[in-house]
Amino acid sequence: GSTTLVLQALIPPLILQQGVSRITLTGGTHVPHSPCFHYIKEVFLSFLGMLGIHVEAGIEMFGFYPKGGGRIWAEVRPAKEIRGIFIRKRGEILSIKGCSGVSNLPLSIAERQRQSALDILRPCSPEIDIDTISVPSVGKGTFIFLKLIAENTVAGFSSLGERGRRAEDVGREVADAALSHIHSRAALDPYIADQLVLYLALSKKESSFSTSRITKHLITNLHVIKAFTGLSYRIEGASGEPGIVHLWPSESGP
């Protein structure tokens, strides 16, 4: 299973506890259909920090499909108050940072992934720094993660290698996703948009943000959260397109 999805499920109840919670999770850390650990640490936890939620996390062993075997840890502090956010404008892209990694495979694969992404993204930022790394794991795997740092926000994108897939295609996929977000000029990437709304619903403050894609995940999350919390919301934009989301927690009202 995915350690990152389990971590995301644990954080909401843990921030309501009286003391600091320390947890260790084992399983997949960079697997399909879930955020990779780098995204959690560099993007998700950064946004939680903006809301006043403080979580530290680290990785001790990487876990790739199908063997898994990864290990991550997290320290979750109680949240005294959850702030809202108002981020409509991303600002200019200041830099793109990231890493292209392999486990129990030639480092040249990571370099090919890196170069493919660089060829596409080099015109988009004055500073691009993608490291090539070899990581510990019980199995074989490859990944590439990119963090876009803008004036007002951050965004993240990743891609995973698999048997029979060219390294250049892995790099191209993550670069194309990043490029689409850059061209939208929206503040939040489509993944963090649906991951944040639960915390914004727990805030007593109004929130509003732009996102590069209104996803079905986002729409579904808002619908379910409204049923449980009384959250009011409005979406400007069509599914699959850039848009703006307005949120009014039950105590603040629209």
Q: Which residues are catalytic?
A: 217
Cα–Cα dist 246/201, whole Å: 11
Cα–Cα dist 137/104, whole Å: 7
Q: Read off the tokens for 254.
A: 């629209």
Cα–Cα dist 208/234, whole Å: 9
Cα–Cα dist 117/138, whole Å: 27
Cα angle vertex 25, ends 68, 156, to 5°? Answer: 75
Task: List the one residue out of 190, 186, 210, 192 whose CA is nearest residue 86.
Answer: 210
Cα–Cα dist 51/247, whole Å: 14
Residues pairing with 71 in the sheet:
26, 61
**Taking a C-beta distance cutoff of 8 angstroms, is the pair 131, 98 a contact?**
yes
CA distances from 142 to 26, 81, 84, 100, 147 (A): 19, 39, 36, 8, 17
